[in-house]
């Protein structure tokens, strides 16, 4: 069921995103800002995006709302759902810029997309000898502004929705808190990286919660609030489940990205777990490799061998699985229970994330 639900809602969400940007563009009189919005639309409408967060919002809404009213409100909740997709993309724009990433979903990251667009223009006009530097600077600065603007667009979508003022205020509170968690998580992560502080497992899970799990939770919570869910008996256990699922998702991502993370000398969960079980010689090797300016393929193999000898990947997988099982228990605590299809969806979603099927 989960794959079918994602497929159908992903298509509906992308249609809503397209309609939303077309509406913004049609009302925009300034040609320069029009061009900027076109670039933002192009980045967000990448068809390889999974749209997990808006789908979670819609699923939570449909799981709690009276089934008799679903068809009357489905169009409006899909409009609201693109708010969390904009929030997520705002985070990606800033995160890609901070990490100096050049690709996102097999296309240029937003700052690279803008850089390349400007470079074509200034190369054609032969404006400057320092075209590359000028274009890079432009891409970076506009991405700072673009990410911030996308956050605000998401907020405006909730404010403009047709739900009651009380429900919208509650939803806006959750949206604002999601922004706060993400920015806080980015600050802490960058602080630790530049101060060369190796995270403890507790710190890793805390950052995974701030940067990943909280947006899972807030997306679902906004949907549940707009469905008029019971805060204590429905929304709280659903939120608890999504926090654990979000942390598990971060761990599985790091397991899948292990080779790339070693190459980029990122000290993620497997590094943290391995360090707890290495001997003196293995610790020395890890420190030596992670302090290199460039990591070779042989270095990567040596690190992977140390990780395997400490069972770190297996321990990480068990940690993720344990979080998923705890989340399923939280889902059982929801009362009144979720509507049947959405109850199945959230349980299947937990397993699909763990097995990385979507």
Over residues 320-333, the pLDDT tens digits come to 999 999 999 999 99
Indicate whether 71 belongs to any domain: yes
Q: Are 313 and 258 in contact (CB under 8 A)?
A: yes
Q: HEC string of the chain? A: CHHHHHHHHHHHHHHHHHHHHHHHHHCCCCHHHHHHHHHHHHHHCCCCCCCHHHHHHHHHHHHHCCHHHHHHHHHHHHHHHHHHHHHHHHHHHHHHHHHCCCEECCEECHHHHHHHHHHHHHHHHCCCCCHHHHHHHHHHHHHHHHHHHHHHHHHHHHHHCCCCHHHHHHHHHHHHHHHHHHHHHHHHHHHHHHCCCCCCHHHHHHHHHHHHHHHHHHHHHHHHHHCCCCHHHHHHHHHHHHHHHHHHHHHHHHHHCHHHHHHCCCCCHHHHHHHCCCCHHHHHHHHHHHCCCCCCHHHHHHHHHHHHHCCHHHHHHHHHHHHHHHHHHHHHCCCCCCCHHHHHHHHHHHHHHHHCCC
pLDDT tier at 127 (50, 70, 90 boundaries)? low
Indicate whether 108 belongs to any domain: yes
Mean pLDDT of the chain: 95
Domain at 55, CATH number: 1.10.600.10
Indicate whether 145 belongs to any domain: yes
Its pTM surpasses 0.85: yes
Indicate whether 189 belongs to any domain: no
Average pLDDT for residues 239-263, to the nearest whole number? 95
Tell me how far apart the alpha carbons of residues 288 and 268 are, in angstroms, rounded to a whole number: 17
Instruction: Determine what percent of the chain is predicted with pLDDT higher than 70.
Output: 98
Domain count, the chain: 1
Average pLDDT for residues 252-277, to the nearest whole number? 94
| Residue 358 pLDDT > 50 | no
Indicate whether 40 belongs to any domain: yes
pLDDT digits (tens, 9 = 90+) for 136-157: 999 999 999 999 999 999 999 9
Q: Are 281 and 309 in contact (CB under 8 A)?
A: no
Indicate whether 275 belongs to any domain: no
Indicate whether 295 belongs to any domain: no
Q: Which domain holds residue 102?
A: 1-161
pLDDT for position 16: 98
Indicate whether 97 belongs to any domain: yes
pLDDT digits (tens, 9 = 90+) for 50-77: 999 999 999 999 999 999 999 999 999 9
Helices 165-194 and 201-208 cross at an angle (nearest 10°) of: 140
Question: Any idea what the Cα angle at residue 174 is, between residues 70 and 148, rounded to 5°?
Answer: 110
pLDDT tier at 357 (50, 70, 90 boundaries)? very low
Tell me how far apart the alpha carbons of residues 267 and 136 are, in angstroms, rounded to a whole number: 28
| Residue 201 pLDDT > 90 | yes
Tell me how far apart the alpha carbons of residues 25 and 108 are, in angstroms, rounded to a whole number: 22
pLDDT digits (tens, 9 = 90+) for 156-191: 999 999 999 999 999 999 999 999 999 999 999 999
pLDDT for position 187: 97
């Amino acid at each position: 069921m989960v794959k079918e639900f994602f497929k159908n809602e992903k298509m509906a969400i992308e249609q809503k995103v397209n309609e939303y940007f077309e509406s913004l563009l049609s009302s925009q009189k300034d040609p320069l800002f029009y061009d900027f919005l076109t670039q933002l639309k192009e980045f967000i409408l990448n068809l390889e995006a999974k749209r997990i967060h808006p789908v979670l919002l819609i699923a939570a809404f449909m799981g709690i709302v009276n089934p008799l009213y679903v068809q009357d409100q489905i169009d409006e909740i899909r409009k609201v759902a693109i708010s969390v997709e904009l929030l997520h993309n705002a985070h990606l724009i800033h995160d890609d810029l901070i990490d100096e990433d050049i690709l996102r979903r097999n296309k240029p990251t937003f700052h690279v997309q803008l850089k390349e667009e400007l470079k074509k223009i200034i190369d054609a006009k032969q404006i400057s000898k320092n075209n590359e530097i000028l274009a890079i600077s432009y891409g970076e600065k506009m991405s700072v502004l673009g990410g911030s603007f996308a956050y605000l667009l998401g907020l405006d979508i909730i404010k403009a929705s047709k739900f009651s003022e009380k429900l919208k205020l509650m939803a806006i509170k959750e949206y604002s808190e999601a922004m706060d968690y993400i920015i806080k998580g980015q600050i802490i992560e960058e602080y630790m990286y530049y101060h060369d502080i190796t995270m403890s497992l507790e710190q890793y899970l805390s950052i995974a919660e701030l940067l990943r799990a909280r947006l899972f939770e807030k997306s679902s919570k906004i949907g549940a609030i707009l469905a008029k869910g019971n805060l204590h008996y429905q929304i709280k256990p659903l939120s608890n489940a999504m926090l654990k699922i979000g942390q598990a998702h971060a761990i599985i991502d790091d397991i899948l990205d292990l080779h790339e993370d070693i190459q980029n000398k990122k000290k993620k969960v497997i590094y943290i777990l391995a360090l707890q079980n290495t001997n003196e010689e293995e610790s020395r090797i890890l420190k030596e490799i992670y302090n290199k300016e460039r990591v070779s393929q042989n270095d990567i193999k040596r690190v992977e061998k140390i990780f395997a000898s400490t069972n770190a990947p297996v321990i990480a997988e068990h940690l993720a699985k344990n979080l998923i099982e705890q989340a399923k228990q939280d889902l059982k605590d929801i009362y009144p229970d979720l509507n049947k299809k959405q109850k199945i969806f959230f349980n299947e979603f937990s397993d699909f994330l763990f097995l990385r099927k979507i």
